[in-house]
Amino acid sequence: MQTFTELPLRDAIQRNLANAEHINLTEIQELALPAALAGKDLIACAQTGGGKTAVYAIPILNKLDHKEGRNPRALILVPTRELAVQVEANFGLYGKGTGLRGVAIYGGAGMPQQIMRLRRGVDIIVATPGRLFDHLEQGYVDLSEIEVFVLDEADRLLDMGFLPQVQRIAKHLPTSARQTMLFSATMDGDVEGLARAYLSEPEIINAGPRSTVVAQIEQIVHRVTPAEKGDLLLSLLHEAREGGGGALVFARTRHGADRLEKTLSLAGLRSGCIHGDISQNQRERVLGLFRSKRIDVLVATDVAARGIDVPHITHVINYDVPVNAEDYIHRIGRTGRAGRSGIALTFVTNGDTPQLRAIEKLVGKRLDPNPPSADENRMGARQQVRRSNGSGRTYGGGWDGGAKANGRRTMPARRGR
């Protein structure tokens, strides 16, 4: 089975897939859709960008019939607002003409509008755990008729501390005649424990090795000093713009992201920024500008590492190395999606060497072409302690655009050397 037309789907869904030019199945779709369509519980570990949303969205739309009533029959829990918006959009794309009603519920958006949608009646809820639990506590939503329960990006749900809310929400779900599906880009003991708690005799699908990235992403490490980061970033961003692609730049802190975006704007680049301190309306506005190519560069913290699906992202640049190795996978998974190619570039100072080694262990390959000597490693460690102000916490996201390193202007390294 290699194409959507071979699947037993409603005519309306097949038309929507054809109109969206969704023809061939990705690996995770080919492996997992038969079990999902058969109503089985499912654990799917897949590479970021592999098309997993369709694995649960299409079976839900194919299963549910439109009926009058207020209570939802499918619930999808996701870790971030951005992913909630993206998943809701996918349901809208695949579900035209089915008559099914859906709503995305997440923090940062107004409660009254969400309450109004719930009161009108919905079939499908896509939600972040915190805001959904608020609605449950206030009696605005009834989950007693849920037929399909999905935990999307389960590893991130746990990383972000949502386990208590997930457990409380699950108590409101029916215990019988329910299909449960769990999806995760990485799989560890905590995620497996979550699966054991809520799934019954699940089909287990591994699309590629656990904790890996898609083969189409070229991974490049640049060894730099902090003073060299600015010139190198500008060079890479101009390269991406000349190639007609979009660039997503990751900073470690909110303050660092703001400062970086301001500097890029002053340098003449069309840029925007999203992080946890920016309102949801502003986030959606900036993401809309990025998707429509009215800005070329999006600067973000890890709040954007999941849930952003912008096809024209060709470059992901880790201006700051992520603290957690798993976040590296989710960051660079914003490019090379659905069979496309992409480039992931990471700026590494000597003080970042331990984080890089953890990333290399996770992805199973050496990324660093020029590892530092033991003396340089010790010097980098001392610099890292000084930057952390003695507290053990690292504050990244600095910018030294146009600065000189060791009395000379630094020329950025080129790919392929």
Single-letter amino acid, residue 366? R
The percent of residues in the chain predicted with pLDDT above 70, rounded, is: 84
Q: Give CA 64 to chain center in angstroms.
A: 27
Alpha carbons 311 and 166: distance in angstroms, whole number: 31
Place of tokens 């590479």: 47
pLDDT band at 100 (very low <50, low <70, confident <90, very high): very high
- Joined tokens for residue 68: 């009058």
Alpha carbons 186 and 48: distance in angstroms, whole number: 9
Strands 74-77 and 124-127: parallel
Alpha carbons 43 and 155: distance in angstroms, whole number: 12
pLDDT band at 186 (very low <50, low <70, confident <90, very high): confident
Question: What is the DSSP-derived secondary structure letter of residue 222?
Answer: E
* Contact predicate 316/342, CB 8 Å: yes
Of the candidates 178, 232, 177, 182, which has an alpha carbon nearest to the alpha carbon of residue 204? 182
* Contact predicate 109/128, CB 8 Å: no
pLDDT band at 214 (very low <50, low <70, confident <90, very high): low
Buried-exposed string 179-211: b where 16+ CB fall within 10 A, e elsewhere: bbbbbbbbbeeebeebbeebbeebbbbebbeeb
pLDDT in tens, 264-320: 999 999 999 998 788 778 888 898 899 899 999 999 998 766 667 788 899 999 999
Bridge partners (DSSP) of residue 181 are 42, 150
Q: If you average pLDDT over residues 228-246, what whole number do you get? A: 89
Domains and CATH numbers, the chain: 4-207 (3.40.50.300), 217-409 (3.40.50.300)
- Joined tokens for residue 377: 């490693």
Alpha carbons 111 and 144: distance in angstroms, whole number: 22
- Which residues have CB under 8 Å from 167's CB, separation 6+? none
* Three-state DSSP state, 315: strand
pLDDT in tens, 381-405: 444 433 333 332 222 232 233 333 3
